[in-house]
Chain A
Amino acid sequence: MMGDYEAVIGLEIHAELKTRSKMFCSCDASFGGEPNTKTCPVCLGLPGVLPVLNRRAVELAVRLALALNCRIAERCIFHRKNYFYPDMPKNYQISQYDLPLGIGGYLELETDDGPFRVGITRVHMEEDTGKTVHASESGRIHGAEYSLEDFNRAGVPLLEIVTEPDIRTPEQARLFMQELKSIMEHLEVSDCKMEEGSLRCDANVSLRPRGSSELGVKTEVKNMNSFRALYRALEYEIGRQREILEGGGRLVQETRHWDADANVTTPLRTKEYAYDYRYFPEPDLVPLELGRDFVEKVRSTLSELPAERRRRFREDYRLPAHDAALLSSSKAMGDYFESAVAAGAPPKAVSNWMMGEISAYLNARGLEIGDLRVTPERLAELIDLVEKGTVSVTMAKAVLEDMLESGRPPREVVEEKGMAQISDRAEIERLVDEVLEDNPKVVEDYRKGKEKALGFLVGQVMRRTRGRANPQLVNEILAERLGEGG
């Protein structure tokens, strides 16, 4: 039945900008800290205070808007969005309304089915709110005796990015978010930590008969705190809507909350009593005139975007598309890769190690590449040891394991554990001769044409060196010796 309907998905993303200070005051904008320690009269909304716009926040916003191919408004203004909520010190949020900073952009994604474009309706700036902590078992307001407010996040600059309803599947939504996150990381616009709330995403979802151009009744899904949650929430919501429609039911326009534990979306509030935010131009701020020079200056500081990096990884380093995509998926990954290559390691070898052992290690421990104790330079050293034949690949894996835990240089590990490969020809010749002498029957088998016997003999040599013998050399010498007798 899926063939009968298609999903229409638009995303609304909030990303905290990576500025040192808040959007309208000089308070520390970093995450964490004891509640209400990163506050001042301005971000607490005390009587008489006035906002002063953070120049850096504007630069970062313009940077992202440019990367998303938006038109930058030469003149934009801030509006007040009025509503009462205790985590909002002024009971209005300084935001943008009909004259946002960036409009009409797009983001191109690469999928297995070819390139795919998602329109960007607008990019605008606004201030974040504080955080309410409800004193109840569930942490939700229901049953709470009292609530506490932490205003450390209040006034942190946010970017709101609204997409056109161009997304059709949960997979596309996930791809879009991954690419957007990657772009923001590359441009150093945001930390993009979904778990800390510095990147948040809501989705508008509706279904319509395939081929129709009209939009169905939509729901807004909130509280998706990871890419996985986004994917599963959309999958669930599409299924839920389809079931209702197929059963001849009617959908209600509402906001739904993704419950990751129960794997369902539940209604939050209906839009029947739609909020009236009474937007009006913020009289405490002057219009933001972004001169051409300013915009061009920001444009000139734009670093390489993920798509461009992917292309370069493929072309300059001759990496397969799959490797290039993975290594450029986050800025830190790409930077790590390039540092290791710069230190002299062959690109494909670096890629193999990163996508193999290193990724496995990070995934198993839930770490980020930035948490690695092995520097790209040390990884390059290890690869060099393998290339030079000092250690075997098998050995190198053991060495890396140690390095990942200890952070020690590979040479030190190799020396300490006596893992250096034996590549001394005379030494190996001696060992080969010993093995041949001790296994006359096997030698005979081999000579009778039992190819497998060779493997056994190699194994015996390796065993006597606890795996340290250079396997290539062992094979070579064995072949020589066995050839001699034949």
Chain B
Amino acid sequence: MGALHEATAWELNRMLRRREVSAAEILRSVRGRIEEVEERVRSYITLTPEEAERAAQETDAALAGGGDPGSAAGIPMAVKDVLCTRGIPTTCGSRILENYLPVYDATVVQRLRREGLTMAGKANMDEFAMGSSTENSAFGPTRNPWDLERVPGGSSGGSAAAVAAGEAIWALGSDTGGSIRQPASFCGLVGLKPTYGLVSRYGLVAFASSLDQVGPITRDVRDCALLLSLIAGHDPRDSTSLRVEVPDYLEAMQGKIRGMRVGVPRELVQEGLTPGVRECVERSLSLFQELGAEVEETTLPHLDYALSAYYIIAPAEASSNLARYDGVRYGLRVEGEDMLEMYGRTRAEGFGDEVKRRIMLGTYALSAGYYEAYYGQAQKVRTLILGDFRRAFERYDVLVSPTSPTPAFRLGERVEDPLSMYLSDVCTIPVNLAGIPAISIPCGLEDGLPVGLQIMGKVLDEATLLRVARAMEEAIGFRERPVAGRGVG
């Protein structure tokens, strides 16, 4: 193993408990790395050195006293700036919340605090999680640690970049249409979007309430299982959170996949894939077979309409969720002659183009006379997609596709063309519409850029998902690291 900042959380956890390393040393290593590369990568909106320092000290004190500091203790984490952290700025990548200080911790943050959370900082993101490149952040883009000319993906681009660059060991992201999986895939990491309702949304600043989920971005599947087990579970503050027993994912992750049935939805591998992505996915499919799984092409016909339905439902919900940023109670206020002018100026200056675009789209879609044609129709499509998945899972244990049709694209390449940007999430979006879990694991490189493999599972079957991901991770044996010069080696 190399430097401490390159280790996995699981390894560091073990070393801490064996007293082979102190939390202070780990933090020093990560801090050093931040100092070294942050200026170029820009993973964070806010760094929280005092917070991290205090947590590291508490961890070391607990360990010295023979106590258990918790499974997240001493392991620096990047927390996407869409999760509320008490007394620590939570901007959502937006001017409108630039100076906003939450008065409470999101449930996931609260749970991690009980496990000794050592937060390195709040990670950059597309404004209000709307975007696929982190270029929509009001505080400037994050760069891909593999290639500084390219985007890290989005919207959880800061979280992914931080982990890939060694500025954090692991991270929390949020995923509404692919915002965990796509950046994980662009940055050569593991990213999981849990079943809708498995992880509490309380304190996750809403983008599209019926699609949003919080999830881990990690260096390997084991860390992913560990972090998921720390954040999953019913929360009485979230009415949509499911009342289920959370299995031991680390345990469930073990085991072979021989005899499993793997479906490959034709709709997700037809057009738009780069040759490298196609090749990586095909190689993964062969590996599945080598491991004794049956691979079969299948069809989920309504997936063709997923992107369209998503771009009705998500903006519609967003238009309502973002209405509260009006300058009245908190956040940015730009004064005007009267209240309406104050509203207008605040929102005109506070929101970026993409957020405005989606608010307009969503407002239109919900308007009287258009509701049935747009929102109503999109909900029907959503039901059909759910049906497609349900039928497919009667036959297959998991479904597989590329996470994104292409590897990381260049900064600025798609900013002017929203549609091409939206297409980056074409493979991930159906998963959110269906509420099922999916994971992205690295499955190779194309021109030195990571490619992600998406594995989709049944509702609440994260256990199988992790087991398949773990087996494939081992079979693929992805060991590549960013190269200095082009990236931050």
Contact = CB atoms under 8 A, between A and B. Distances in A.
B90 interface: yes
Given A47-B102, A49-B202, A84-B323, A278 B367 contact: yes
B330 A86 contact: no
B320 A82 contact: yes
B239 A91 contact: no
Interface stretch (B67-75, B205-213, B396-404, B407-415): B205-213
Interface string A80-94: 101010100111100
B328 A50 contact: no
Given A47-B84, A82-B366, A91-B324, A283 B330 contact: no
Contacts of A86: 326, 328, 339
A410 to B, nearest CB: 54
Interface string A11-50: 0000000000000000000000000000001001111111
A70 to B, nearest CB: 25
A50 B239 contact: yes
Contacts of B90: 47-48
Given A53-B239, A276-B367, A285-B239, A48 B204 contact: yes
Contacts of B375: 280
Contact of B324 (A89, A147, A285): A89
Contact of A50 (B92, B238, B326, B367): B238
Contact of A46 (B83, B326, B330, B339): B330
B387 to A, nearest CB: 19
Interface in A266-318: 276, 278-280, 283-286
B363 interface: yes
A279 B365 CA distance: 11
A52 interface: yes
Contact of B239 (A46, A51, A89, A147): A51
Residue from the set A41, A48, A82, A92 with the largest chain B CB neighbour count within 10 Å: A48
B317 interface: yes
A214 B141 CA distance: 63
B154 to A, nearest CB: 19
Interface string B210-242: 100000000000000000000000001111100
A41 B371 CA distance: 31
A118 to B, nearest CB: 29
Contact of A276 (B92, B201, B209, B368): B368
Interface residues of A, number: 29
B203 interface: yes
B333 to A, nearest CB: 12
B343 interface: yes
A48 B324 contact: no
A280 B240 contact: no
B204 to A, nearest CB: 6
A280 B323 CA distance: 14
Contacts of B239: 50-53, 284-286
A280 B316 contact: yes
B97 interface: yes
A92 B205 contact: no
B102 A280 contact: no
B363 A50 contact: no
A433 B244 CA distance: 96
A280 B371 contact: yes
A149 interface: yes
B366 A280 contact: yes
Contacts of A285: 239-240
Nearest to B100: A47
Contacts of B208: 283
B237 A52 contact: yes
A91 B323 contact: yes
Nearest to B343: A84
B103 interface: yes
Given A92-B320, A283-B210, A284-B209, A47 B237 contact: no
Contacts of B209: 283-284
A284 B92 contact: no
A168 to B, nearest CB: 32
Contacts of A82: 319-320, 323, 366
Nearest to A45: B324
Residue among B90, B210, B317, B324 with most chain A CB within 10 A: B324
Contacts of B100: 47
B479 interface: no
B205 A47 contact: yes
Contacts of B84: 46-48
Given A48-B84, A86-B328, A284-B239, A80 B102 contact: no
Interface string B306-320: 000000000011011
Interface string B73-85: 0000000000110
Q: Which 3 A-B pairs have the closest CB atoms?
A: A91-B323, A278-B366, A283-B209
Given A52-B236, A149-B329, A284-B209, 7 more contacts: A41-B104, A44-B329, A47-B92, A47-B206, A80-B320, A279-B371, A280-B371
6 contacts: A47-B206, A48-B84, A48-B206, A89-B324, A89-B329, A283-B208
